Amino acid sequence: MITGPRRRVPDLEDRRVARLAEEVTPELRRRGQLLVHVGELEDVDRWRRAVRRAARQLDWHVRTGVSGQVAWAVENWPAAQPDWTLNLVTRAIRDVPPSRC
């Protein structure tokens, strides 16, 4: 029987999200939005979690979603006008060809 302090086993998914959050933080900070073709992502839900984590580290609020074949994230400002943010993202997705995502 093994005794001693209990150690928490690192959550592999949490590590993946943290690593991806580190990767997306510079571009999110620079542009305030991200657009990625879903075919380029291993896991869309993981990408969305990573973007939200990156935003929290920047003390930002973001909206994330998937429209067609594009996963998107945008800084949620102004907070009083959330429809404005969604319209901005919709226009960006419509105007950007998949090869540029």
Domain count, the chain: 1
72: left (phi over 0), alpha (psi -120 to 50) or beta: beta
Instruction: Tell me, yes or no, whether 71 lies in a domain.
Output: yes
Instruction: Tell me, yes or no, whether 38 lies in a domain.
Output: yes
Instruction: Tell me, yes or no, whether 42 lies in a domain.
Output: yes
pLDDT tens track for 24-83? 999 999 998 999 999 999 999 999 999 999 999 999 999 999 988 999 999 875 554 556
* The predicted structure's pLDDT at residue 76: 77
- Domain range for residue 33? 12-100
In the chain, the N- to C-terminal Cα span, in Å, equals: 54
Instruction: Tell me, yes or no, whether 2 lies in a domain.
Output: no
Gyration radius from the chain CA atoms:
17
Q: Is the model's pTM score more than 0.75?
A: no
Laid out side by side, the sheet with 70-75 consists of 33-37, 70-75, 62-67
Instruction: Tell me, yes or no, whether 6 lies in a domain.
Output: no
* The predicted structure's pLDDT at residue 36: 94
Instruction: Tell me, yes or no, whether 5 lies in a domain.
Output: no
HSE value, Cβ hemisphere, 13 Å, CA-based, for 3: 0
